[in-house]
Amino acid sequence: MSLHVVLVHHPVLARDGSLIASTITNLDVHDIARSARTYGAASYVLIHPVEAQRQLVERILGHWEGGHGATRIPTRKDALAIVTQAPSLADAYAPYGGRSAVEVWVTGARPRQGKPSTDYPEARARLDATEAAGKAVFLLFGTSWGLAPEIVDDADVYLASIAAKIDAGFNHLSVRAAAAITLDRLRG
């Protein structure tokens, strides 16, 4: 299995459309690690350019790896064991041969200008085939108001946006919910 779930904190969009680095949210680390681990991801990579923010994540992981949390909820350690960090996407891709050697998949509520999206049955088949070919797949999620356009435009696969069967006129899932649903659709 070579599916890597990635949570991007920079570059992402702010509410006003500017590019920002968002702050680490404790429950994003936990919830998405548990979902990624349940659906057999090889790793869950947090991208943050600020070292102090990556150190915060190390402290969270330490609490559950060997601290009080490890005794209180032992299964949490198994989930958090797949968490890694990198200052940038390029750094995350590097151990797998760099950007040109991996597949980058994105999701999002916004359609890409003039480029097709991949529906889930097709994506499931492609994921199996890509993994069978020994290629790493990086599945990217954006915090805040979503991934920067430069990341979206660079992706190999743009997954169709998640939608309800009957449009309820509201589509603002949390990144924790969106990651869980996407993993279930790809690997459930």
59 near a copy of itself (CB under 8 A)? no
30 near a copy of itself (CB under 8 A)? yes
Taking CA atoms, 38 is separated from 21, 28, 106, 129, in Å, by: 28, 15, 20, 21
Q: Which stretch binds a copy of itself (CB under 8 A): 27-35, 57-65, 89-97, 148-156?
A: 27-35
Q: Using CB under 8 A, which of 39, 64, 105, 138 touches a copy of itself?
A: 39
What's the closest the beta carbon of residue 177 comes to a copy of itself, in angstroms?
Answer: 4
What's the closest the beta carbon of residue 134 comes to a copy of itself, in angstroms?
Answer: 17
Q: Using CB under 8 A, which of 8, 37, 53, 86 touches a copy of itself?
A: 37
44 near a copy of itself (CB under 8 A)? no
- According to DSSP, the β-strands at 19-20 and 83-86 are unpaired
Q: Using CB under 8 A, which of 5, 13, 29, 79 touches a copy of itself?
A: 79
Cα dihedral 113, 154, 187, 117 in deg (nearest 10): 20
Which residues, numbered 111-150, are part of the site for a copy of itself (CB under 8 A)? none
Q: To 5 degrees, how large is the angle CA 180–CA 80–CA 136?
A: 65
What's the closest the beta carbon of residue 167 comes to a copy of itself, in angstroms?
Answer: 8
Helix residue ranges per DSSP H, 2-133:
26-38, 51-65, 68-72, 74-80, 89-93, 120-132
What's the closest the beta carbon of residue 126 comes to a copy of itself, in angstroms?
Answer: 15
What's the closest the beta carbon of residue 178 comes to a copy of itself, in angstroms?
Answer: 8
Structure-block tokens of residue 155 = 């992706």
Helices (H) then strands (E): counts for the chain:
8, 8
Taking CA atoms, 32 is separated from 94, 99, 111, in Å, by: 23, 23, 24
Q: Which residues bind a copy of itself (CB under 8 A)?
A: 1, 15, 27, 30-31, 34-35, 37-40, 73, 75-76, 78-79, 162-166, 168, 170-174, 176-181, 184-185, 187-188
